[in-house]
Each structure stands twice: as C-alpha cells, then as structure tokens.
Structure 1
C-alpha cells in the first residue's frame, strides 16, 4: 500500500537552444544543482521515493535520473507520455488505472497540472515552482487515487534549500 505520495515538478530547464522543442529541453545548471538538493533533502527527511512515475520530457527524465543517483534503494523510473503537461484530472485517472505501488510514489510532471493536483488534494493554492516537491502522507481507507486519501506533510522548495 502506498504510504506517501510525492508530487514534484521537474527542475529548472534550459532555454539556451532555441532549436529544441519544449519536449526536448534539458535541465540548466541551476536545475541540475536543485535536483541534487531536493534528493538529499528527501533522503534526510525520510521521504525518498521508492518508485518514480515521470513524464517522458527530457527535463523530467533528467530530474528523475538525478534523484535516483542520490536516493538509495529507489527502484525505477516509469516513463509515461501521458504525464507530459497532464492536468490534475489526467494524473488522477493515471493513478486509478495503475496498480497501487507500495511505499512512497513520486509523480514527476509539469505545471499547471502539478499545482492543480496539489490544490485539489489540499484545497489550498500553492505556487508550484520548478523543482518543488510536495509530500503527502496516506490517511484513512479511501482508495489511493482519491484526493481525500492524502494529507500534506511537507513542501520542499529548492530556493529554500539553497539558502540553508
């Protein structure tokens, strides 16, 4: 049974190569640094994901791979093209269709969908900057894909980590 749900927006991407499509853009230097900071923070706080479901965009895959290099025991990254610019409802539909993973699941995708899903679960607006990771803990016995199944317990923001 999933104990935690982590929603993470990809880290900061590069706009240096105007010939690349949005889907192909890699991380920039700041994004690469932020990925490591977030990964180390998730490990230190006991929220490191066991499984990552990622959009197939270059910047999300690169963010996920950088996390996996740092997180001990992270199992795998599942690339899902449907997560590319997915809405909150699309992400919930994906969760409903997939079998419930054990442990801590991270969904890595894009805005505005990540902010929409955070808002749907919490009932509160929160800007979801690049590299942000919201951590939710499972509550009650509702189905895991039900937004009422989760309570926010932490919000990891790269800009706060850089200041530490």
Structure 2
C-alpha cells in the first residue's frame, strides 16, 4: 500500500460496563453493553471499511466489546491487545498509532474515554457533513465510534491532520 492512499482510523469507545466489586481494569460489560457492542459491530460493517488491524486495550470491557463487535464484521482483522491503551491520553494514543506498520491501511482503536474523544477531537482538522456537529452534541458515549481519514505514513499522524469522516453513537 502506498502512503499516498488515504488511511482510516476508527476510534471506538468500549460499550457500557458494569460496576461489580472488581478493579477498574477488570470491569465486565453490562447487559446493555453486550447489546450495544454487537449493534456497533453491525454499524461498523455498514461503513464498508475493511479493517486491517485492531488495537484493543487490555481492559476486560474493551476486550469483551471487541469480541462481540468483530463477529458482526465480514472480515476479522488482526487484533493486538495493547496495555498502553488503558487510561491513555490522546498523546499516548497517537504515539501507539505512530508505531502502526504502513501496510495497515484501516485501523480500529478500541479504548476508553476521555482518551477516545480527546483523540478524535485532536486529530480532526476539517469534518465531512455534520459529523462534527453530531459528535459535539452527543459527546463520545459508550459504544460510539468516529471515523477519521488522513494521507501519509502512520509516523506522520499528528494533531489536525485528519478529517472527521463519520461519527455514530447508539441511542440511549
């Protein structure tokens, strides 16, 4: 793949988690989260984006979200469980994305707020249609995703270089 071809980043916040007496990292999905994760997987499939790589936080709720969402996709991308995505700032998330091999064109990052929303806000320069208005009005609730596009090597990904192409969140 050429670095001149557009790349896509799907920023996907984990689905709704439960609050049992476990550490934050080990929190499982709530019943609603399991339903929303599958719904979001179907919405991702509807975008037609062929994902090459999934970068997923190691937290239980993100792993469960991805496991349910990926079953709805027509193609299962390679998945890497990355400890650095848990509680990561937007800058730390960009650093992880900068390490992505250039043969990956479309990447989904399954993570947490406030990092997920911050990453979408920081990377996006312009936006297509009403994607930014929808994201600004809804925030980045659980199971939401944003699709950003940019051209260049993953090493060149930095604030403001991407276009916010799409945004979706489940109804509450």
Normalised TM-score (structure 2): 0.82
Query: What is the deviation of 1:106?
Result: 0.4
Q: Give the aligned length.
A: 158
User: Matches of residues 10-21 of structure 1 in structure 2 within 5 Å?
Assistant: 10-15=14-19, 17-18=20-21, 20-21=22-23
Change (3 A) 1:98 1:62: same
- What stretches of structure 1 of length at least 5 have no aligned partner? none
Aligned to 2:63: 61
Which contiguous aligned blocks of 4+ residues in structure 1 show a shift greater than 3 angstroms? 123-126, 139-144
CA distance in 2, matches of 1:135, 1:144: 18
- What stretches of structure 2 of length at least 5 have no aligned partner? 126-131
**After superposition, what is the alpha-carbon deviation per residue over 1:24-62, rounded to whole angstroms, capped at 9, x for unaligned?**
011111111111111111111213533210110000011
Query: What is the deviation of 1:116?
Result: 1.1
CA distance in 2, matches of 1:159, 1:114: 19
CA distance in 1, matches of 2:152, 2:54: 23
Aligned to 1:131: 143
Normalised TM-score (structure 1): 0.86
CA distance in 2, matches of 1:139, 1:36: 30
User: Matched residue of 1:8: which SS?
Assistant: strand
Matched, 1:149 2:161: yes
